[in-house]
């Protein structure tokens, strides 16, 4: 593209970003490798799309299809795919750099990308990988269940499969390197032959393919001139190894992430990954510095800064930041629950088009009391209290995956009719289960199938198959809570990551609940007053829990409020508890109770 046309593109981009210096620094950076630190609401997606458009316009990416964009979550991957597909052609329109429909960038999560490779070349490892879409996806974490399902599997091999699964979650790199070859051998000889594949094997077999067939690896290394990774802080060790194969000296690299939104450490997200990657891949770090979500909301803007500042300097306030917050403390849980219900109703009555989420760290008797209070007053809400480790939630997603695979064996077209058949079958399977979780999952499944044909109508059948399989394999139905009609959502913070509501209430801001006993309180030496002291031994745990708190707060578009009880419900007897140490972060100015 000649310089005059490139200037037109640059002018369009500058107008779009309205003088945001940091965003424009990212977009026009001459560096081949950058890490963009992008907190929630700081314009990450707009910046990413403009950066891609500029690289294409300036011929640093020969064609959009030579860009590989990866992300941790399924939902995020397809949102990027939609944003890139809609916005880049508009930025490049009319200047001789129009995008052909066939030249779209490849956007997926790590497993989706690996699945595409295995479907093309996997027969070199085992012929059944040609039919990867219809292989049974199995859980390899339980040795006894593995041996029940696969009779020829020895106890030693079943144990190794399980240990490998655990090592991924616990980020035990040395053990994984020692076991990966044997893990792959067992998967190929014992599981693939019987039409089954574990979740982790989709990546490990791709790594094996790259190691055993250097020509295949060389093709991908040279074909994808630019590798972009969103939600980089959530990358696990297998995905990180995969990146090491794909990124070579001449590869352009764009990593986007926020260390304070790393809340998936319990399932293997690597700690301190942004710093590690900066050194390993020789990245230039650029930090976005304008919060657009709270631009017109000074209190929320300041609260965002306070929490982020505490990640750098725990329990200090060097910049003298202040944020007025609503924090109501009640004598007992019954009063707190009733007041949460009243606050919810008052908020939604004042703003009838708004929605509200009540977010908690985990299930327990205190949030159960809030739920019962909503039920007692016949106030409808959506039950979102499931986590990535909830056995019933995992089982529901796994059943959905199995039934979907069965449906596409005869016809690989993903239609509305297939979606209805799938929902009907799942309802039949769980027809005897009237628990709140399963009833909520029915609702999410219906929304999921509806949205596929609204938000992702542009996908091919193959892409839709990948989207559906990726969603169920990643236990990703929770991400479709954002499309529910419910005005009131009661959810865990982990289920809510990536979603937003107008208003958020964080109840139970008490010792042993938020942060919880397992996360931080159990190891704290200041249980008498909860004036937390950070030292080298507890700093990493503090940051993990602060990250969850930050994600919870930043789910609110307009306002977040907090509540607590002096008398906390426990499994045995109610106990006096202190307020959460997070409510003592310097700069948080507590408003009097209304």
39 labelled ligand-binding = yes
Instruction: Please state the φ and ψ torsions of residue 7, each to the nearest 5 degrees.
Output: -65, -35
- Asked if 257 and 37 touch (Cβ cutoff 8 Å), the reply is yes
- Asked if 307 and 585 touch (Cβ cutoff 8 Å), the reply is yes
3-state secondary structure 227-256: EEEECHHHCEHHHHHHHHHHCCCCCEEEEE
Q: What is the DSSP letter of 572?
A: S
Cα separation, 13 vs 52, in Å, equals: 11
Residue 222, preceding peptide bond in cis (omega within 30° of 0): no
384 labelled ligand-binding = no
43 labelled ligand-binding = yes
3-class secondary-structure state, position 557: strand
Strands 33-37 and 284-287: parallel
- Asked if 65 and 105 touch (Cβ cutoff 8 Å), the reply is yes
The two tokens of residue 510 are 């008490």
Q: Which CA distances in Å does 431 have to 243, 292, 380, 419, 425?
A: 43, 45, 22, 18, 10
41 labelled ligand-binding = yes
393 labelled ligand-binding = no
Strands 556-568 and 575-576: antiparallel
- Asked if 49 and 84 touch (Cβ cutoff 8 Å), the reply is yes
On the 0-12 / 13-18 / 19+ scale of CB atoms within 10 A, 416 is exposed
Cα separation, 540 vs 320, in Å, equals: 25
- Asked if 81 and 42 touch (Cβ cutoff 8 Å), the reply is no
- Sole residue written with tokens 């093309």: 120
Q: Which CA distances in Å does 567 have to 480, 525, 560?
A: 35, 21, 23
Cα separation, 579 vs 560, in Å, equals: 17
Cα separation, 44 vs 287, in Å, equals: 10
Cβ neighbours, 10 Å, residue 154 = 12
330 labelled ligand-binding = no
- Asked if 438 and 344 touch (Cβ cutoff 8 Å), the reply is no
Strands 488-492 and 33-37: unpaired
| Residues forming a β-bridge with 256 | 36
- Which helix or strand (DSSP H or E) is residue 69 part of? strand 67-71
DSSP state string for 29-61: ---SEEEEE--TTS-HHHHHHHHHHHHHHTTSS
DSSP state string for 299-325: HHHHHHHHHHHHHHSTT--TT---EEE
**Where are the alpha helices (H) located in 72-228, listed in sequence order?**
74-92, 110-121, 143-149, 155-169, 173-186, 201-212, 214-223
224 labelled ligand-binding = no
Cα separation, 79 vs 499, in Å, equals: 12
- Sequence ranges of the binding site for ATP: 38-45
- Sequence ranges of the binding site: 38-45
């Amino acid at each position: 593209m000649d310089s005059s046309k490139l200037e037109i593109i640059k002018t369009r981009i500058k107008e779009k970003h309205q003088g945001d210096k940091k965003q424009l620094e990212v977009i026009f950076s001459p560096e081949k490798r950058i890490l963009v630190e992008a907190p929630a609401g700081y314009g990450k997606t707009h910046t990413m799309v403009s950066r891609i458009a500029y690289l294409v316009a300036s011929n640093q990416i020969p064609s959009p299809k030579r860009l590989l964009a990866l992300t941790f979550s399924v939902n995020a991957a397809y949102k990027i795919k939609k944003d890139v597909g809609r916005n880049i052609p508009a930025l490049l329109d009319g200047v001789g750099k129009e995008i052909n429909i066939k030249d779209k960038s490849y956007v997926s999560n790590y497993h989706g990308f690996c699945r595409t490779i295995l479907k093309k070349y996997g027969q070199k490892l085992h012929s059944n990988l040609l039919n990867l879409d219809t292989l049974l996806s199995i859980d390899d974490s339980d040795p006894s269940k593995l041996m029940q399902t696969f009779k020829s599997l020895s106890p030693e091999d079943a144990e190794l499969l399980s240990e490998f699964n655990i090592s991924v979650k616990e980020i035990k790199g040395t053990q994984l390197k020692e076991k990966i070859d044997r893990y792959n051998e067992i998967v190929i000889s014992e599981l693939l032959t019987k039409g089954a594949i574990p979740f982790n094997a989709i990546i490990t077999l791709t790594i094996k393919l790259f190691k055993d067939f250097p020509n295949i690896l060389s093709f991908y290394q040279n074909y994808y001139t630019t590798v972009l990774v969103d939600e980089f802080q959530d990358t696990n060790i297998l995905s990180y190894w995969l990146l090491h194969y794909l990124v070579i000296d001449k590869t352009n690299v764009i990593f986007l992430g926020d260390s304070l939104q790393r809340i998936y450490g319990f399932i293997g997200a690597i700690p301190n990954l942004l710093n590690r990657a900066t050194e390993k891949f020789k990245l230039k770090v650029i930090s976005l510095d304008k919060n657009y979500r709270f631009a017109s909301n000074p209190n929320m803007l300041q609260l965002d800064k306070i929490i982020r500042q505490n990640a750098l300097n725990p329990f200090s306030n060097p910049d003298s930041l202040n944020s007025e917050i609503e924090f109501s403390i009640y004598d007992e849980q019954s009063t707190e629950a009733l007041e949460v219900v009243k606050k919810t109703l008052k908020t939604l009555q004042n703003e009838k088009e708004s929605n509200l989420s009540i977010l908690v760290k985990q299930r327990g008797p205190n949030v159960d009391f809030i739920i019962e209070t909503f039920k007692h007053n016949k106030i409808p809400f959506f039950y979102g209290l499931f986590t990535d480790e909830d056995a019933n939630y995992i089982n529901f997603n796994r059943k959905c995956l199995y039934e979907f695979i069965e449906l596409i064996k005869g016809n690989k077209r993903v239609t509305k009719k297939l979606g209805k058949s799938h929902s009907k079958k799942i309802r039949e399977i769980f027809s005897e289960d009237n628990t709140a979780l399963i009833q909520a999952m029915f609702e999410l499944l219906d929304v999921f199938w509806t949205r596929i044909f609204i938000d992702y109508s542009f996908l091919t059948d193959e892409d839709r198959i990948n989207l559906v399989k990726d969603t169920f394999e990643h236990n990703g139905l929770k991400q479709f809570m954002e499309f529910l009609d419910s005005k009131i959502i009661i959810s865990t913070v982990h289920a809510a990551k990536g979603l937003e509501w107008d208003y958020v209430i964080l109840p139970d801001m008490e010792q042993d609940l938020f942060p919880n006993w397992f996360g931080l309180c159990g190891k704290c030496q200041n249980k008498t007053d909860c004036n937390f002291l950070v030292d080298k031994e507890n700093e990493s745990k503090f940051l993990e829990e602060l990250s969850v708190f930050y994600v919870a707060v930043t789910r609110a578009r307009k306002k977040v409020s907090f509540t607590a009880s002096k008398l906390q419900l426990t499994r045995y007897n109610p106990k006096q508890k202190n307020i959460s140490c997070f409510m003592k972060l310097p700069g948080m100015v507590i408003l009097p109770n209304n």
